[in-house]
Amino acid sequence: MEWRTVVTIVLVVSLCFFMVPIRVEPDKNVEDAKLFANYIDRYNKSYKDNPEEYKKRFERFQRSLQHIERMNGFRSSQESAYYGLTEFSDLSGDEFLERTLMPDLSVRSQKHTRASYHRQHSTGSVNRVKRMPGILPKFDWRDKGVVGPVRSQESCGACWAFSTVGVAESMYAIKNGTLYPFSVQEMIDCMPGDYGCQGGDICSLLSWLLASKTEIISENDYPLTWRTDTCRLSKISAKAQRGITVTDFTCDSFVDAEKELLKTLAIHGPVAVAVNAMSWQNYLGGVIQYHCDGSFESVNHAVQIVGYDLTASIPHYIVKNSWGPTFGDKGYLYIALGKNLCGIANQVSSLDVA
């Protein structure tokens, strides 16, 4: 046997003992398809038996999985915001904006920045929010029993009405000691200008309620239908159990003045705010610190701020949303203080009721 042949045999045998195992990665599409099947069942999606729609939604779902992985990669601590699958994860960004948010809210809201009731607060930096004198380091109006349950706006784009009525309920409870549900549907149907489920804005609603002295009646008397209907207030109000009227309101900017916003929250009550919610599509919980544009031009949603926590490792606002109690942290989100994240300080409304 030639020496070359011997060497070759020895090398082949040696390689058998030193083989580097090759790891075969599982098919990503197969894994994603299993996740998607569970997702469809969990959220009772209607396109399960529609192959064309299924394919389109699966592609959007996979993009959401990539976005979720990217966003979770930015977490700086266990308290940071974390992301996962939500009922909106099968939508593209444009669809999420069109179906759930209000693309033209900044245009609607711009006129209020020139109104007589608008104030531009300015107190300088809020980088030392933990050392703010004059207010409690932690305050949550839910602990006082004056914040109602989280509602769901469903497919009706009336976050402006949900947030405003929610604050009105809290102000009534703070004043009278009783938390009582008032009618969001009345605002949807009766606010002039054909806003309804197509979108409106907080400041226009408050302006109309104050000027017209329109009474916000009980939700029991004027229940939610989640669609824009003909106003039935004149037929219902005579038999309504109780109602409230707005006696005063603000529509202010607290950009670079979040100290004053905290004082308003602690001393006066919850507030309704315009925000940019584009990055919330896959939010599950934790404090939002990054990638949430705060420019006025980007606002597209309305929510309530019901408290804050300066004692947390990431000082934050406590935000009540209107996407139902299964979204986020039982319907709530947390947004870091001091940087106008998500535009939370751009347009802030407080109100008084009688």
pLDDT digits (tens, 9 = 90+) for 68-116: 999 999 999 999 999 999 999 999 999 999 999 999 998 888 888 777 6
Q: Reply yes or no on whether 321 is catalytic.
A: yes
| Residue position matching structure tokens 């192959």 | 51
Provide the number of structural domains found in the chain: 2
- Which 3 state secondary structure label does DSSP give 138? strand
Q: Does 30 share its domain with 157?
A: no
Q: Which residues pair with 303 in a beta bridge?
A: 273
Structural contact between residues 100 and 231, judged by C-beta atoms closer than 8 angstroms: no
Catalytic residue chosen out of the listed positions 156, 197, 292, 301: 301
Q: By residue range, what is the domain housing residue 46?
A: 24-74
pLDDT at 115 (0 to 100): 76
Which residues, 6 or more positions from 233, have their beta carbon under 8 angstroms from its beta carbon? 186, 189, 190, 214, 217, 222
Do 140 and 58 sit in the same domain of this protein? no
Which residue, among 29, 90, 353, has the nearest Cα to 206 in the 3D structure?
Answer: 353
Q: Which two tokens stand for residue 267?
A: 């001393």
Task: Select which of 112, 121, 156, 159 is catalytic.
Answer: 159
Please pick, among 276, 282, 300, 321, the residue that the annotation labels catalytic: 321
Q: Are 58 and 123 within one domain?
A: no
The answer on 156 and 57 residing in a single domain is: no
Contact 186, 218 (CB under 8 A): no
pLDDT given at position 109: 86
Does 299 share its domain with 347?
yes
Tell me the CATH number at 192: 3.90.70.10
Considering the domain architecture, whether residues 50 and 139 belong to the same structural domain is answered as no
Residue 1 belongs to a domain:
no
Q: Enumerate residue ranges in the chain where pLDDT < 50.
A: 3, 6-25, 124-130
Give the other-Cβ count within 10 Å of 321's Cβ. Answer: 27
Q: Residue 324 domain-assigned?
A: yes
Based on the residue annotation, tell me whether 301 is a catalytic residue of this protein.
yes
Residues 6 or more apart whose CB falls under 8 angstroms from that of 302 comprise 105, 159, 160, 162, 163, 164, 201, 202, 272, 273, 274, 275
Please, what is the angle between helix 159-176 and helix 202-212, to 10°?
Answer: 50
pLDDT value at position 117? 72
- 189, 46: one domain: no
* Alpha carbon separation from 244 to 38, 52, 303, 330, 338 (Å, rounded): 45, 50, 21, 28, 34
Counting Cβ atoms within 10 Å, is residue 273 exposed (0-12), middle (13-18) or buried (19+)?
buried
**β-pairing, 271-275 with 348-349?**
antiparallel
62 and 144 together in one domain:
no
- Does some domain include residue 79? no
CA quadruple 170, 176, 177, 179: dihedral positive or negative?
Answer: negative
> 194 and 269 share a domain?
yes
Catalytic status, residue 159:
yes
Residue 4 domain-assigned?
Answer: no
Residue-level pLDDT at 126: 46
